[in-house]
């Protein structure tokens, strides 16, 4: 066991597009989406020990430890470790909840990657991704660590290299339920699956956007404000929306116009995850 305490990055992502092809018999949706990471991260401090138990400290309120994806990920990985291997994890949360930025899935993936390292389990990324998929469809992309087009329910990944733009991300004061949106009767579900070359060369869209705007007026209000300055899209099922800029200076110029009722941040798109880059430096 590597007992050194390490602060691990847990990055957010954007869905640069999201297309829904069909709903499967099991209720899940076949989709095509482009994941790109951003340099906006939570932090997980991993403190391995020989207690045989998993403990978690977090500032999140009203979320029991047993319901946190970090705890669930650690418990799953303990099945591959000696019984006396334990860990204490401190979470510093920066990624907003319910924003479509993948914070919970990223936390789970970072936990799996970090404990695989600390507990010296030597599981492959493929094995970790298979474990992570049981926690959420977005967990595998964070383990994969490279910008990719995802198909199926999000588990089939093909590496791509979109421009690493700068983004102004706006965070409405509301929480969008992914489950509610994907169950909504008005969600479009018949977009024809497209080849990779066409996906990468067209103007991008999010098939969830109209449904989210119709059911969450605050999201519609934010898009209406931001789209005046630059092309704007929803990420995931929201609630966050983002606009694309060539430079950080351009993004920050518009950020200065942010109304008082809205929170925003500027970030850079990354085709390699900060977690993947961090892990490579440890090896």
Other Cβ atoms less than 10 A from the Cβ of 43: the count is 14
Give me the catalytic one of 138, 207, 250, 276.
138
Which class for 198: exposed (0-12), middle (13-18), buried (19 or more C-beta within 10 A)? exposed
Q: Each residue of 9-40: b (16+ CB within 10 Å) or e? A: bbbbbbbbbbbbbeeeeeeebbbbbbbbbbbb
Residue 138 falls in the annotated catalytic set: yes
Q: Which residues contact 271 (CB under 8 A, 6 or more apart)?
A: 36, 37, 146, 147, 161, 162, 164
Instruction: State both tokens at 237.
Output: 């099922």
Nearest 10 degrees: Cα torsion 52, 57, 61, 62: 0
Residue 283 falls in the annotated catalytic set: no
Answer yes or no: are the C-beta atoms of 275 and 109 closer than 8 Å.
yes
State the Cα–Cα distance between residues 190 and 3, nearest whole angstrom.
50
Catalytic residues: 13, 138
């Amino acid at each position: 066991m590597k007992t050194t305490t390490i602060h691990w990055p847990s990055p957010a992502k954007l869905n640069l597009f999201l297309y829904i092809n069909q709903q499967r018999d099991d209720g899940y949706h076949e989709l095509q989406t482009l994941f790109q990471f951003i340099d906006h991260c939570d932090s997980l401090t991993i403190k391995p020990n020989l207690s045989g138990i998993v403990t978690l400290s977090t500032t999140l309120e009203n979320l029991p430890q047993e319901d946190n994806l970090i705890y669930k990920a650690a418990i799953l990985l303990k099945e591959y470790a000696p019984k006396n291997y334990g860990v204490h994890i401190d979470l510093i949360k920066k990624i907003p909840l319910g924003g479509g930025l993948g914070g919970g899935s990223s936390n789970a993936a970072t936990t799996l990657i970090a404990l695989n390292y600390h507990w010296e389990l030597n599981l492959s990324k493929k094995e970790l991704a298979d474990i992570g998929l049981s926690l959420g469809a977005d967990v595998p992309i964070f383990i994969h660590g490279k910008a990719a087009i995802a198909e199926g329910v999000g588990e089939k990944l093909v590496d791509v290299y979109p421009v690493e733009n700068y983004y102004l991300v706006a965070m409405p004061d509301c929480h969008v339920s992914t489950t509610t949106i994907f169950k909504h009767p008005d969600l479009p579900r018949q977009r024809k699956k497209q080849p990779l070359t066409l996906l990468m060369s067209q103007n991008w869209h999010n098939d969830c956007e109209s449904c989210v705007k119709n059911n969450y007026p605050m999201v519609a209000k934010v898009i209406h404000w931001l789209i005046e300055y630059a092309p704007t899209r929803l990420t995931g099922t929201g609630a966050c929306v983002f606009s694309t800029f060539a430079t950080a200076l351009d993004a920050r110029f518009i950020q200065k116009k942010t109304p008082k009722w809205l929170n925003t941040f500027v970030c850079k798109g990354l085709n390699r995850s900060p977690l993947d880059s961090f892990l490579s430096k440890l090896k």
